[in-house]
Amino acid sequence: MTNAALVGIDFGKLDFEASLQELDLLTQSAGARPVVTITGRRHSPDAKLFIGSGKAEELREAIAEFDVELVIFNHALTPGQQRNLEHLLQRRVVDRTSLILDIFAQRAKSHEGKLQVELAQLQYLSTRLVRAWTHLERQKGGIGLRGPGETQLETDRRLLGERVKSLKIRLEKLQRQHDTQRRARQRSGTMSISLVGYTNAGKSTLFNAMTKANAYAADQLFATLDTTSRRVYLGDVGNIVLSDTVGFIRELPHQLVAAFRATLEETVHADMLLHVVDASSQVRKEQMAEVNAVLAEIDAADIPQILVWNKIDAVPELAAQGPRIERDEAGRVTRVFLSARTGHGLDLLREAIGEAVVAGTGGLQSQHEAPDVRLIDRWDDVSRAEDR
């Protein structure tokens, strides 16, 4: 396993420690072993090395001491910063965007998922051609590929552009197929509900519990990349279609949001969203904000949603209170507290969904108009929040 050094610079954000812990999990998810973490504080990134010469020297010493083969930054690096760091450190350097793309490349299983990941990777590599894109020459021999007067860099750019164009055409064809399936579902009057949430919030576990499916679920980041849909029977309400989607994460690369737009179409065209929140996370408020930011980016911010606070069994105070439905002053469902792992509270979620379906989702709020719904920042405030 590759030894990796993690680098994180605190620019004054409140969730710096949580972001570093997340980087550690991302690194392990990618198959590397974090052996040392270098941190520092700055007002702004250094233009040449991002971390400044003094911190770069500290990093170089740590690389020698811990036999580091890979350096991972918890930030987005410019192509110039990445090249300068690799020249100085004599090690491969990747940033947060590249790390997430690598994990996606490992996890993509469906044909569509693989196409989307490749498109995102090529769009990312397009700014790093001088260093990164040489595999085509090795793959096809190079000779006979160049046009008149083309340098190797120009050839690489042309081949990359042709491949990106080809991938976009294939993804557009798949999207048209999805649109056809979606219109057929709408004609049948079947309601569509999508699970959304931060990565590792428990969406796939909840999906399996609700549908009796066997979708892959694991305690790791980005366990799910491909959208899976199943019909669920809700008694008097009848059938609905429930979809499990890719999880979101802070600083999700824009290339991925764009490339995965076909996958995220299930979210955009859903009648209702179940926003799954990891109730045991100390930064759940920030995670919810990140999810809502991505929903806004894909034009899904106005879709009515129910907050599903999952993993209450991992929080003693919430476990003691048990599963429950929380409503606002108008009697509309705002939150459902449950544990997808144990199954406690699933009946309440079905009840809340059925109530919303009967009301035509008019009894729910979109995240644009929803109030703070009394986000609880300290667990010793839970009982007081319930008494208000």
- Ordered by where they begin, the domains of the chain are 2-94 (3.40.50.11060), 105-168 (no CATH), 190-387 (3.40.50.300)
C-alpha 41/C-alpha 22 separation (Å) is 18
Q: Which residues of the chain have pLDDT under 70?
A: 14, 129-152, 182, 185-189, 213-226, 253-256, 258-266, 360-388
Separation in Å, CA 270 to CA 214, 234, 301: 22, 17, 11
pLDDT at 363 (0 to 100):
52
* Helix, strand or coil, per DSSP, at residue 209: helix
5 is in an annotated binding site: no
313 is in an annotated binding site: yes
Tokens of 329: 């002053």
* H-type alpha helices, the chain: 16-29, 53-65, 79-89, 96-107, 111-125, 129-132, 135-140, 152-187, 203-211, 254-259, 261-268, 284-297, 316-321, 346-358, 382-387
Whether the Cβ atoms of residue 204 and residue 226 lie closer than 8 Å to each other? no
pLDDT at 336 (0 to 100):
96
179 is in an annotated binding site: no
198 is in an annotated binding site: yes
Whether the Cβ atoms of residue 335 and residue 352 lie closer than 8 Å to each other? no
46 is in an annotated binding site: no
- ∠ CA(195), CA(199), CA(201), 5° rounding? 65
340 is in an annotated binding site: yes
pLDDT at 97 (0 to 100):
87
226 is in an annotated binding site: yes
> Across all residues in the chain, what is the average pLDDT?
81
337 is in an annotated binding site: no
pLDDT at 338 (0 to 100):
96
pLDDT at 135 (0 to 100):
47
pLDDT at 178 (0 to 100):
73
pLDDT at 250 (0 to 100):
77
pLDDT at 373 (0 to 100):
37
